[in-house]
A and B are shown apart, each in its own frame.
Chain A
Amino acid sequence: MIKESKEKREWEPKIIAFLCNWCSYAGADLAGVSRLKYPPTIRIVRVPCSGRINPFFILKSLTDGWDGVLVSGCHPGDCHYISGNLVARRRFAILKDLITFFGIHPDRVHFMWVSAAEGERFATLIKKVSKKVKKIGPNTKFNNSRE
């Protein structure tokens, strides 16, 4: 009975979200505490700062079969470590340019800034990310893709 309904359920993407501890994670928390609705498609990994994100994390997530990857940090100027997110921004820019160039859909990987006070913005952006990833469908490019 349960199994049947599982099969019938519409495909939902699985998105891994790397959130910086000081802003975005708190923003996600706020969204939850404020009981804002957003799709349950993301799995959160808390990181100290968006500057901690090695492009490997993103690529490894893709090859492991995650349908989408999201990275979120403090707004420019607000980084707890002053410039972690500014350093990261350049990395993200070239990574996104390169994966797009290689033929990986640009909507697989998203970057955003969310502060601790922006619970609502967090929920809105998550909805947006989910919608975009859903639109491009499951990630099957890599041999390690999983169910």
Chain B
Amino acid sequence: MTAEASSLKAGPHRTLSRDLLAPVLKEAGIAALVAFGLAVFMIGFRTVDAQGGLQLETRWSWVGIAVGAVFVGRLALALRRHWRRADQGPGILSALSTRLGAG
């Protein structure tokens, strides 16, 4: 709601650099968090056969790669969506926060 009001006052171009980064980073951060939740057990640990049962092997680097890839990918998507909106004038932020809120 506050985002809507501020985007009305500021011109479209000023909002691009400053106010934009926060929601876009937040979106990418949430996606990365979800990716971490997905990967932490299923990729982070691998069950390997050993005598008398199973043993765990860790692969944190893979988890790091997965989370990083999701973060970068989502950031790119969010930015691209933003640039597209920017062509249509002000109100991008409200639209962006709307999308975030829905997601």
Chains A and B come from one and the same complex: no
